Chains A and B, each alone.
Chain A
Amino acid sequence: MRRNHMKVLNGHRDKTVLEGIRTKKYSLKECINCHASEKTGSVAASKDDFCVSCHSYAAVKIDCFECHSTKPKGSMAMHPLNAETAHLKHALAANADVKVSAEEMAGVAQ
């Protein structure tokens, strides 16, 4: 997913825009609903947010949010791979010497 998510998103984009299929599988909105950060309520507002955290590291500009909203509509459903719980948690744990519990690791691995 990290390597090829742009290809997946492009396919889904065409399904949605050209054919009008907006189910969860084809919806960027649903990606954002789950991946938005608890703190900022967004996937791209601060540098710890889900999309930006990788993109700033890889120095790749994201164009999606020139047009798409970075904020979920309605209530948020937190995905285990949220910025606060995923790779950043590993980094923080390594730096701050905080133990990551087995349950949390199981959540990340999902």
Chain B
Amino acid sequence: MSELQSNSDNTLNAPDRRRFIGAASAATAGLVIAPGIMLMEVAHGRPEEQAASSAVRWGMLVDATKCASGCDDCVSACSTENGWTPVAESAHPKQAPQWIRKLELQDPLTQMETNLPMMCQHCADAPCVDVCPTGASFKRADGIVLVNRHTCIGCRYCMMACPYKARSLVHEPLNDTQKADVPRGMGCVESCTLCVQKIDRGDGNTACAEACTAAGHDALLFGDMNDPESEISKRLRELPTKQVRADLNLNLGVRYHGI
């Protein structure tokens, strides 16, 4: 802005330039008048025609102390939203695609039980992206790790590289049962997309987090980790959280509390 002002001194007589400066300062005033609104726009969805930007980093906070034993609402919500068959209903459960799974862990010494959902951790330095021979496995500007099915050859290197066993290969033809928003098909690897279709639509939340809130557990919190004012950033500042396999130094997008 200051650069603009200094330029304008020389060209104040040019009517076009003056009109432009007027419009520009009006836009800036809009920013000042309603900072809250602008922030919401940044956090909950860019304009639809704009590319995803690295100003945002989508992430999730899992509060394992609130995650209820026996509840798998997040898993079924994911399966409904993204159109994958629940493992229990699959003809071949051992090779059925699974985007998110519920883990129930028990400490062998103290018998303490921990419940948590496990899915793609959306690493900043993702091993699946490193090993992909075709570049199909990629990280989008806003931190979401995705598979480009147009270039995926189904080699499954990424499945071997992932420390979280987050990826699956689709082994069988889906026969046009896919959701219109979520294309997926035989011979391609897939995993949690942080409901990328919902984010691009501007929903600002994932199906699993919505289901968890609806069930009254509030164990999943989705948001922009780059925005210091977002709910997830505030909670991350307050709560002690862990990254699973933090020793690998992958800078995860999914953080756990209470594990």
Chain A interface (Cβ < 8 Å from any Cβ of B): 13, 15, 17-23, 25, 29, 32, 42, 45, 65-73
Bound: A19/B200 CA distance, A: 10
The 10 closest A-B pairs by CB, nearest first: A67-B185, A73-B180, A19-B51, A20-B52, A67-B183, A68-B183, A66-B185, A69-B180, A69-B178, A20-B200
5 extra interface residue pairs, beta carbon distance < 8 Å, beyond A19-B52, A67-B188: A17-B150, A19-B141, A20-B52, A32-B180, A67-B174
Q: How far is the CB of A51 from chain B (nearest CB, A)?
A: 13
Bound: A72/B181 CA distance, A: 10
Residues of B within 8 A of A45 (CB): 176
Known interface pairs A18-B138, A20-B140, A20-B196; A69-B51 also in contact (CB < 8 Å): no
Instruction: Pick 27 A–B contacts, CB within 8 A, sort by A.
Output: A15-B51, A17-B150, A18-B138, A18-B140, A18-B148, A19-B141, A20-B51, A20-B52, A20-B140, A20-B196, A21-B50, A21-B200, A22-B48, A23-B48, A25-B49, A29-B181, A65-B176, A66-B186, A67-B184, A67-B185, A68-B178, A69-B179, A70-B176, A71-B176, A73-B179, A73-B180, A73-B181
- Whether the Cβ atoms of B178 and A21 lie closer than 8 Å is no
Across the two chains, which residue of chain B brings its CB closest to A20? B52
Set A21, A32, A67, A72: member contacting B51, Cβ < 8 A: A21
Bound: A19/B140 CA distance, A: 7
Across the two chains, which residue of chain A brings its CB closest to B152? A67
Bound: A75/B47 CA distance, A: 24
Range of interface residues on B (Cβ < 8 Å): 20 to 34
Set A13, A18, A72: member contacting B180, Cβ < 8 A: A72
Is residue B201 contacting chain A, with contact meaning CB distance below 8 A? yes
Known interface pairs A22-B48, A68-B183; A17-B176 also in contact (CB < 8 Å): no
Known interface pairs A67-B149, A68-B178, A73-B180; A22-B201 also in contact (CB < 8 Å): yes
Residues of A within 8 A of B146 (CB): 17
B132-177, CB < 8 A from A? 138, 140-142, 146, 148-150, 173-174, 176
